[in-house]
Structures are given as C-alpha cells and as structure tokens.
Chain A
Amino acid sequence: MSLEQPRQPDAGVTPEGDLDYDELADLLGERVLDREEHINAEGFVVRPDEVEDTLSTLKQEAGFDHLSCVTAQDYQDRYESIYHLKKYDDPTQELSVVVPTTRDDPTSESAAGVFDTADWQEREAFDLVGVDYEGHPDPRRILLPETWQGHPLSQDYNQDKPQIVPLREHANPTEERTNVPQESDTMFINIGPHHPATHGVLHIKTTLDGEQVADIDPDVGYLHRCEEQMCQQSTYRHQIMPYPDRWDYISAGILNEWAYARAAEDMADLAVPEYAQVIRTMSAEMCRIAAHLLAVGTFALDIYGDFTAIFMYAIRDREVIQNLLEDLTGQRLMFNYLRLGGVAWDLPEPREEYFESVRDFLDEWPSRLEEYHNLLTSNELFQMRVVDTGILPPEEAKSYGATGPVARGSGVDYDLRRDDPYGYYDQLDWDVVTDEGCDNFARASVRLQEMEESARIIEQCVDLLEDWPEDERDIQSNVPRTLKPEPDTEIYRAVEGAKGELGIYMRSDGTDKPARFKIRSPCFCNLQTLPVMAEGEYIPDMIAALGSLDIVLGEVDR
C-alpha cells in the first residue's frame, strides 16, 4: 500500500502468502484453548478475559488490521462472540476469534481498546443478543430504545410482551435550549430523525461550541426492522433472497443479493455457471452506478442545495439504469433476481434489442460523467465546501473498519472485487479507484470515477454475453429443492457492496433455515467515523461529511 512504510512480513504467513494457522496458534500460545473449523477461516477459541490481549497480539504481530465483524449468538449452553479478522492488504487471510461465555454470566472482555469499530459492533451484540462487554467505553443499547426489555435474538425472548418507548429527546426543543448554563457557549441540538439532510431516519445528537461541533453522537435504530430475525426464520433456498434487496435499498439490490448468494453457495458448496456469473457481474455494476448516482446527487443537494441540476440529472440517469434493470429483472428497485446457483432468468428477448439499449447508455455515459465533473469536481463552489473538510486519516479509517468509497477516499486500497475475487471480476479489465485526499472531495471523486470503471465492466460483460454460444447459456446449476447444509457449518463471506464490505455470517443447524444470520453492514461501520470527521468542524461541514459517507439507514439499522 502506498501510504505505508515497508514493514516486516506478518507472523503466520507462508512465503506463498497463505495463512499458517499453526504458526498463528503458536504466536498466541496458551491463549488458544481450542481450534474450530469454519468454512472461511479457522476459529481460535479464547477465554473471555483474554480478548483484548489476543486481538492486540494478532493486530500488532500478525497484521490483522481489519476487524470485519463481531457476531454474537447464543447456544443452548453458552453465549458466543466471534471476532472476524481480516487484513486490509489481503482480505483472503481470515481468522475468527471465538469467545464463549457461560449462560449465567455472559460477560466478555471488550475489544474496543484494540479496534475502534468494536465499540458499535459490541453495543449491537449486547442490544440484540445480550452479551455484556466488560470495559466497553459506552455500554448502551444501540438499535433498540433504551427502555427495551430483553434481548430479541436470544433464545428466551418473548416477542409478545409489551414494550414502552419514550419520546424524551425531542419533547420540547426550547426547553432543551434554556437548560444550557448561562455562561457556557455550548448548545445542544438534535438533528433528525426527521430531517432532509440525514438521508433517512438518522438522529444526530450534536453539541456545539459556538459554531463548531464539539461532540457528536449518531443515534441509529429508527429503521431497525429485524432483518436478521427475518432471515433466521426463512429458508435458504428461496425465502431469504428478497430481504437483501431491502438492506441497501438505493437500487443496490443485486449487490446485496450477491452477498447472500455468495455466502450460501460457499456454505452449501454450490457451483454457479459462468454465464450466470457474467450476468450477475453486469447487473451488479448497473446497481453500483445507480447507487453512486444517488449518492452524488444527494451530496450536491446537501452541500449547496442543487436541486435543479445535479440532483435532477442524477435521477434522470438513474431512470435509464432502472429501465435496463427492469427489463432484466422485472422490477425497478427490489429485484430478487439472483438465485442460489445462478440467476432467475436469462436476458430479455430479443437480446439484440437489450444489448442495444445497454450500449446506448454506455455510449452516452462518458458525456454524462463529464457533465457531473463540470458541475461538481471542477465547480469552485463545490470545491470550497468539500476540499479539506471532513478529514478521515487512513489509520483511523482502518481502525473504524471503514470500507468502500469511504476507505478508498482515504487512500486505503481495499476492494473485495479485486482482493477476494468472486463472480467474473478477475477476468475483466478494470481498476480500483483510490484517492489520497482523505476529505469529502476525495470520497465524492472516488464515486464518480468508480462509475466510470463500472461502465467499463458492463461494456466487457456485454461483449462477452453477445458472443456467448447459444447452447452454453446455463443460468442455473443444479440445486436441491430444499437446502440443508451440514449442522454447525459456519461461514463469514463478504462482497463489495455499493457502500463497502457487505458480509454475512451464517451458522447452520441441520434444518433448512439458518440458526444465526448476521449482517455486516458497511454503512454501520462507515457511520462510526462521523465523529472523527466532524468534531471541531462547522455544522455545514458535518452535513457535508455525512453526505460524503453516503449511508443508507436501511443498512445501518437492518
């Protein structure tokens, strides 16, 4: 990576670049109580009071600098937290740290001292499953209201019990203001949960010192619609697939479906025909363009109220892409197009006509992009607002587990399409876009350039599909009608969604439904970096930073 000094090779890596789990186990010594086999990686079982030591050794000496996900779950006899570790340099090198605790006293040491991202992830684990994290800096609920009773994803939760939710935060805004001490220059304001600049139902508790942001506390959970529970009570084969469309709902449906498809296909060892992979790749990149377009359009709307030009242009171009996707999948927004082992159906007939409309879009695209560059990146107004505001240094980005355009805008060269290849990406010619500006401008510019790369990918896919022999157009491999993976198979798999690394952890229990389904949401982790970017800045710069993060509340709250 360009920003880093050359350093010693990590411990536990063979000269070929593979992980040597025995060496890693030796590195941790007696802290490893047991070793488990997960499909993606080995799991080292450690004591609940040695979490911080273990993780910090792995981070410092073995180079595991990316805490991708924290999964909590409960078994009949124990609670378990799993820390899914990866490396930003090579995300195929994975390791899980499994921390079991007893049912009577589910207390486990917090990892927030080693990885900043563990802060929110452990809060979520506490909120939904009920594992207590000792030494956690901020042990509050995160998705559910503070007065909630019970932990809904634990086994003994009764969903029919009544709950009481207070409306305290916003009871009387003027009263809040008069409560501020007279001499003090600080002011507390609520932004959201109903506010146009928050891109949905996000609530930001902001403390201002004069006009500067002194403290900021994003309050999420206003769209927590139990996606994990829904997936846990649905069957692998068909019932889960519609839900991913609704995580990141900015037309990024196929990217999300792919996250589930990839995890489930690897878990059940299903093959996908190459032809289907090309269609997946093409449609996924169309989704990426649509998602980035909305990000760029609303960003312009946020920072200088450009409702008439950029926003409308972006919506106009989205309509074009949505038409292409509708022709392919039958839906404008919630595609439900991928199937385990393939896709739902072939390209629409007549094929030539479809290819022609895709090519029309691609021919027009460079001039459209140039227009966006004229209106945004080379616009002085825009530059004044976003250059050198919302700084996110690469080391902080990594520690907070930022991925996607947010990480790439901080110079972190991390893209799962290239680094952990899936689909047809490794056989196509395209580049990962990074920008070392670390500011709001860099993130917006990365998105604009990524759309260019996506168009390149689509073009190559169309070329491939046009020449594909007619008798080899398999869209679906043989998949059993009812899918029942071996009991206690565990997998964590991620794809590059529109906002970053979208991962899914699944554990099977021998039935046709997953026993635990955990979604690693890129937006959830990216949003955690907001205080880093915004504290000390002015309020409008905070809004710009929030816009440049491009969060989708459906995916933050799940």
Chain B
Amino acid sequence: MSKNELHDTLDQAQSTQEARMGEGVDSRFNSKLREAFGSTPFILTKFDQFMNWVRGSSMFMLLFGIACCSIEMMHTYAVKHDLDRFGAGVPRASPRQADVIIVPGTIVSKFAPRMKRVYDQMPEPKFVVSMGSCTISGGPFQEGYNVIKGVEEVIPVDIHVPGCPPRPEALIYGIAKLQERIANGETSPVTVKPYELEQFGDLEQDELVTKLADQVDEDDLVMRYNWADSA
C-alpha cells in the first residue's frame, strides 16, 4: 500500500467516526477508548451507547441547596415524589461524586464564584439543571443590584425548569428530559458565559482594578461583574 493510500484510509476512518457520532453529540460523550482507537469499530459504538444509557439511568445529583427552590427539590427527593424511582435520586454531598447539579435558587454576586468552583470540581461528563425563574433570568429579583441574571452567566445549562418555584412534578419532568437526552447522546450547545473566574492580575487595568489593588492579591481568583452588559 502506498503512502497516499494509507493516508486516504485514515481520512476515511476519521470521517466515519464523525458520521457515526451524528449531529448534536459533543466531546463530552467520547470515551478515552474511542479516542485511542481513532476510528469506531462496531463494538465500541455499542459500548458508547450502552454507557450513555447507563449514565442516564443512574444519575447522582449534587446535594446543593440555595434558596426557595431547594425546598421543592427536597420534596422531589423525598416521599411522595421520590425522584429515585427514575434512577436519579441519590443526592451526593460531594461534588466529586456527582454527575448532575440542580441549581435551585437565586445566584448573587458573592455566591457565583463559589458555585463556579463547585461546578469545576465535578467530574466530566457533568450536566446542569437550572431550577426556577431566578436561574433563568434572575426571576423576581432580576432588577436587584446584587443578583446574577441567570445561572448561564456563570456555568452552562442543559435543562431549564421554569417556575417560582417549579412544582416537584415539573422538576421530575425536566430531569426525565435530561435523562432522555443523555441516553441519546445529545447535549445542548454551551452558551456564552460572560462571568469567568480569573486572576486579579489578568484583569484589564481600569479605575476599579486600581482602586482594589491594595485589597486583592495579583494571583487571587476573582469574578468581575459588568452589570451594564448583562441586563
């Protein structure tokens, strides 16, 4: 086989992989094994599908309470609604053991960096359900001086469940939708996240940064809120 022909086969293999992945599948679902093989032999395709089904059927939620919605979230976990019936109801106290984070409440300026940190600590693949109006847009507190206008300003979101607060049934529906998506290997596109954790020293030197220079260290992580842009 000539060098050229070999090259063509590799090309073909790569495009097969892409074709098999289909649209709407992002790298979050790719197993290490598949990357190592470069192409997708039949058995690994089936294995990936199997893994997706497993992921969707046994989700570990992060025990994460913020505000009013967390009360309805507790009711969803507990008797009567019993989220565990759907294979998604074991709350884990540590982010390192969780696949799904339900964000149940208003995010304010002081909490957003902490939430980002908790999200970063979760292992991949991870999914986010935003619960309630506050996490969609700031909800009834949108005009507040301290309120982040939706959780998507900080972390990407897969499913939005509207309501103030959503009923447990609504949350269950949202989670069932998420499970369906995971089982099919679909995820939502990652939207723009204007607020990032960054080192103080990397910020653009403007009036505010100079003013805070003696209070904050160069290598401290900070989150900068440009309220005027996010409204």
Question: Is B215 a contact of A162 with CB atoms below 8 Å?
Answer: no
Chain B residues within 8 Å of chain A by Cβ, number: 59
In the complex, A278→B127 CA distance in Å?
Answer: 47
Question: If A147-B216, A224-B108, A225-B144 touch, does A167 touch B68 (CB 8 Å cutoff)?
Answer: no
CB neighbours of A311 from chain B (8 A): 78
Contact with A along B174-208 (1 / 0, CB 8 A): 00000000000000000000000100100100001
Interface residues of B in 100-136 (CB under 8 A from A): 105-106, 108-115, 117-118, 134
Question: Is B222 a contact of A226 with CB atoms below 8 Å?
Answer: no
B141 within 8 A of A: yes
A193 within 8 A of B: yes
Partner-A contacts on B (CB < 8 A): 63-68, 70-72, 74-75, 78-80, 93, 95, 105-106, 108-115, 117-118, 134, 140-141, 143-147, 164-165, 167, 197, 200, 203, 208-209, 211-212, 215-217, 220-228, 231
Could you list 8 A-B pairs, sorted by A, with CB under 8 Å?
A149-B211, A160-B231, A164-B200, A195-B93, A224-B146, A243-B140, A319-B79, A554-B68
A195 — nearest CB in chain B belongs to which residue? B93
Given contact pairs A165-B109, A194-B64, a sample of 14 additional A-B residue pairs in the complex whose CB atoms are under 8 Å apart: A164-B223, A165-B112, A165-B222, A165-B225, A167-B117, A193-B114, A225-B134, A225-B141, A229-B143, A230-B144, A233-B143, A243-B140, A315-B78, A319-B79
Chain A residues within 8 Å of chain B by Cβ, number: 56
The secondary structure that dominates the A interface is loop
Which one of B65, B216, B231 lies within 8 Å of A166 (CB-CB)? B216
A251 within 8 A of B: yes
Question: Is B75 a contact of A164 with CB atoms below 8 Å?
Answer: no
Which one of B72, B74, B147, B221 lies within 8 Å of A171 (CB-CB)? B221
Question: Is A230 a contact of B140 with CB atoms below 8 Å?
Answer: yes
Question: Is A201 a contact of B75 with CB atoms below 8 Å?
Answer: no
CB neighbours of A215 from chain B (8 A): none
In the complex, A200→B144 CA distance in Å?
Answer: 20
Which one of B67, B95, B118, B215 lies within 8 Å of A146 (CB-CB)? B215
CB neighbours of B108 from chain A (8 A): 221-225
Question: Is A145 a contact of B226 with CB atoms below 8 Å?
Answer: no
B203: shortest Cβ distance to chain A, in Å? 7
Question: Is A162 a contact of B222 with CB atoms below 8 Å?
Answer: no
A133: shortest Cβ distance to chain B, in Å? 21
Question: Is A230 a contact of B141 with CB atoms below 8 Å?
Answer: yes
A376: shortest Cβ distance to chain B, in Å? 18
A170 within 8 A of B: yes
A172: shortest Cβ distance to chain B, in Å? 10
A394: shortest Cβ distance to chain B, in Å? 32
CB neighbours of B134 from chain A (8 A): 225
B75: shortest Cβ distance to chain A, in Å? 6
Interface residues of A in 530-557 (CB under 8 A from B): 553-554
Question: If A152-B146, A230-B143, A333-B72 touch, does A144 touch B110 (CB 8 Å cutoff)?
Answer: yes
Question: If A194-B118, A226-B147, A334-B68 touch, does A162 touch B75 (CB 8 Å cutoff)?
Answer: no
A250 within 8 A of B: yes
Interface residues of A in 348-362 (CB under 8 A from B): none
